[in-house]
Amino acid sequence: MKRPLQVEIIAYAPTAFYHCLHCELVWQQAGVSQVLHAEQLASGLPEDLQKAYQDLATWIARLLSTYCDRITVKVIDAVSVEGWWKSLRYGARRYPAVIVDGQVFGGGDFAAAEAAIAQRLGVPQATA
């Protein structure tokens, strides 16, 4: 079986911090855990970045339903060490940046990234 195509996406991502497993269990039983994590995720990004992340999540869900097990998607937080390194390595300047076989599609150019994915997978694209 052929390996799936790896698609990496560098984006500003909401972050939630967790306690150790024992503490999380206590917080969960006390009914505090869900509220705490939901608040972290809701307040983690400004409104415009939250919308951009939601658009990205919608696109990823569509990609996965279209290509199923032919692709894998890895989302990397742009402000993490890995995000910094990948941005430097691939020359990504605008986010979200989609990396397909070393080719970078920056600033949320999902149509061009998806065309590259389809090309790498040998899927014919509809012409307008």
**CA atoms of 12 and 4, how far apart (whole Å):** 25
**CA atoms of 109 and 89, how far apart (whole Å):** 19
E strand or H helix at 47: helix 47-67
Among 47-56, 60-69, 85-94, where is mean pLDDT lowest?
A: 47-56
Of residues 2 and 71, the one with the higher pLDDT is 71
Do 100 and 113 meet the contact criterion of CB atoms below 8 Å apart? yes
Do 67 and 77 meet the contact criterion of CB atoms below 8 Å apart? no
Res 128 pLDDT > 50? no
E strand or H helix at 97: strand 97-100
State the pLDDT at residue 110.
93
Do 97 and 10 meet the contact criterion of CB atoms below 8 Å apart? yes
Q: What are the chain's domains?
A: 5-16+47-121 (3.40.30.10)
Global confidence as pTM:
0.74
